[in-house]
Structure 1
Amino acid sequence: MVSVDRLIFGQLLVLVVHGRYPWLEQVTRQEQLTAGCDRYGMTGKGVDYDQLDHVLVDHKHKLLYCYVPKVACTNWKRILMVLTGLSSSSNLVDIPGSLAHADISTLRLSQLEDGDIRHCLDHYTTFVMVRHPFERLLSAYRNKFENTYTKYFQLRYGKSIIKKYRANATDSDLQTGVNVTFREFVLYILDGGAGDNEHWAPVYDLCHPCSLNYSFIGRYETLAEDARALLDMIGAPSVAFPYSKPANTSYRLRTYFQQLSMKDIRELYKMYEHDFRLFGYTLEDLLGFDLP
């Protein structure tokens, strides 16, 4: 992990002209990440290059983006398609989500030769977008298990979750995997399921924040401002980050978490503790206090 001193001064000058000085937020976020990695003894922890499959490459703008599902990654992949010349669309929402997520639409850092990977890590702007861990987890649950069109997740995960955690499951439930409750999903996560799918895997596991030098850390809560700052920082052409209607996940958080016991919440927090600590999130809004 490299300290905030590695941020290029010229890039900061670009950021300072926008809004409420988003580069000041970057200083805070960088220092928080660095201090957290030091505190947990994870600074400089190595990472195998074949673990960098979530880091996408834009050689033209010397940009590395570690995508995190449920943190606006579909729109960021659409932007990368435009930046890399794979799409000439002037309206990013016209790019189908399935195409944005297709392997042919992005270049993964892990696909490069070792020497090229090292060069990119040393010389490219590297960024990640993060989100409150529990909001991201709830967003994944609602999108993959409550929506009726996500048959894959219901069949792939829902059936086994219901079989293991529902005492009086009907034959229909076991065959279709529908109607997984939030608590059943959480029990599955606590039983080792956090690493089963990228949509709910911790950011720490996907993006290795204590091993890579992230020169820009964006937050879902300030998405529009951070997107504009990052795009200006790399000298991107005029491209508007797609705005979508908020899903009110933060508003729903208390309602869903009422299904959980305090013991559940404490154990779930431990599963995502690195994401909480390294990126400055707490449980104040949910519980009224933070966990030690």
Structure 2
Amino acid sequence: MTRRDFFFRFALILLLFLCGIIYNNLIGNTRPSIVKYAPKYRGNFFLSDFIPKKRWQADAKILKDNRAMLDRIAQTCRENNLTETTTIASRRHFLYSSANRALCCWIRKAGSTSFTKLFSELNNRWITGDNYYRELNHITPRSDSQLVDLLSSRGTFKLLVVRHPFERLVSAYRDRIEDNTRYTAQAWIYVPKIFHLTRPEIFESPGTVDLSLSRMFHDDRRLKLVPTFGEFVDWLLQQDSAKDDHHWNQYHRHCSLCSVRYDYVLKLDNQTREALDYVYRRMNVLDVAKVRLGRLEGTRSGPTDFERTCAYFKNLTHRAVVSLYDRYRVDFDMFDYDFDRYFECTEGD
């Protein structure tokens, strides 16, 4: 090859290279921005190793906020001397899918029905009717030892779902006590105890226990006489919080927050589509259309939001609201929930 041929070929290659750069620059702006995403946890958690830049940015914010939340939980445990042995995790409090390597601590009135349905379907079970409570027999870890292994495994995605403690409390009262269109175990068990405190005359008049019950309940055990929210709160504040019903117990006790390090906390109060999509991906939910969650805060009589909660708090005394805050203070601190505007709902003592 002559020197002239060499330089001719070199010039041709250089020209083709420059043309390629120009071509890429011209069409690059029309393509979606794609970045390589390196997940913190290895495993089948993400639908793809490549995700759009917009999603990556959303995930980055989600992870940043979540890290701050987890640190706040740990700090609250330390400040209140709640050690790992203070709250021992209960196997029956967790939903589990081995195929999806996902574990979720359910909290009543905080999306528990929706997530029970989700985990049931992930386990190839399809709930009919209202058999959500019975479903726990099939979708919890098999044994205490398995739960311990899952909680310590970095390959298991551990999810916690919460909502504002006061809104959850009002939701529980509305659904389990006030709604007398159907029988509820909570009304049957607790309403006589509430009235023993707030309306003792029901039990003082001549007659048998059956007569007292007939004044409070219909023959089908639906409530006939409904206690007010104020009566419910007065009774609740005199009970041992360690023995609370699952519908209004404390988050940190129920989900053992000082002994379990969760991977993600989903707050229903300000959930976003991006946050739910992130949870789906971490749970390796491939066919989202089949398992979309329903309305996470809904009840038979509509959702319990701030405005509705404020209406129920209106007739409480300042002292009662402060006492409720003291009862759930650890949960308020862990999840940075606001108290002041609920206090302002009350009309005073």
Give the TM interval when normalised to the shorter protein.
Answer: 0.7 to 0.9
Unaligned runs of 5+ in 2: 1-38, 204-211, 218-222
Task: Provide TM-score, normalisation by structure 1.
Answer: 0.82
Q: Which moved more, 1:183-192 or 1:220-229?
A: 220-229
Which of 182, 190, 195 is equivalent to 1:162?
Answer: 195
Aligned-partner residue type, residue 112 of structure 1: S
SS at match of 2:227: coil
The alignment status of 1:180 with 2:180, answered yes or no, reads no
Aligned to 2:130, what secondary structure does the other structure show? helix
Residue of structure 2 in register with 1:112 after alignment? 143
Number of the residue aligned with 2:16: none
Separation in 2 of the partners of 1:31 and 1:174?
51
Match of 1:3 in 2: none
Cα RMSD (Å): 2.9
Kindly report which structure 2 residues correspond to 1:232-251, keeping only aligned pairs within 5 A, or say none.
232-239=281-288, 240-243=292-295, 247-251=303-307
AA aligned to 1:199 is H
Indicate which of 50, 60, 63 corresponds to 1:23: 63
Bigger-Rg structure (1/2): 2
> What code does the residue aligned with 1:179 have?
V
Map of 2:157 onto structure 1: 125
- Report whether the alignment pairs 1:141 with 2:168: no
Give me the TM-score of the superposition, normalised by structure 2: 0.70
After superposition, the C-alpha distances for 1:25-58 in whole angstroms (9 at most, x for unaligned) are 2122112212212222225346445x33201211
Taking the TM superposition and a 5 Å limit, the aligned residue runs for 1:1-292 are 8=40, 16=56, 18=58, 21-45=61-85, 47-48=87-88, 51-87=90-126, 95-96=127-128, 98-103=130-135, 106-109=138-141, 111-114=142-145, 116-123=146-153, 124-152=156-184, 153-166=186-199, 169=202, 174-176=215-217, 177=223, 178-192=225-239, 194=241, 195-225=243-273, 226-239=275-288, 240-243=292-295, 247-287=303-343
Looking at structure 2, the residues matched to 138 and 104 of structure 1 have their Cα atoms a distance apart, in angstroms, of 25
User: What percent of counterpart residues are identical?
Assistant: 19
Bigger relative CO (Cα 8 Å, ≥ 6 apart):
1
Quote how far apart the aligned CAs of 1:62 are.
1.1
- Taking a change above 3 Å as real, the CA distance of residues 168 and 16 of structure 1, as seen in their structure-2 partners, is farther
Structure 2 distance, partners of 1:143, 1:250, is: 16
- 1:174, distance to aligned residue in structure 2 (A): 4.5
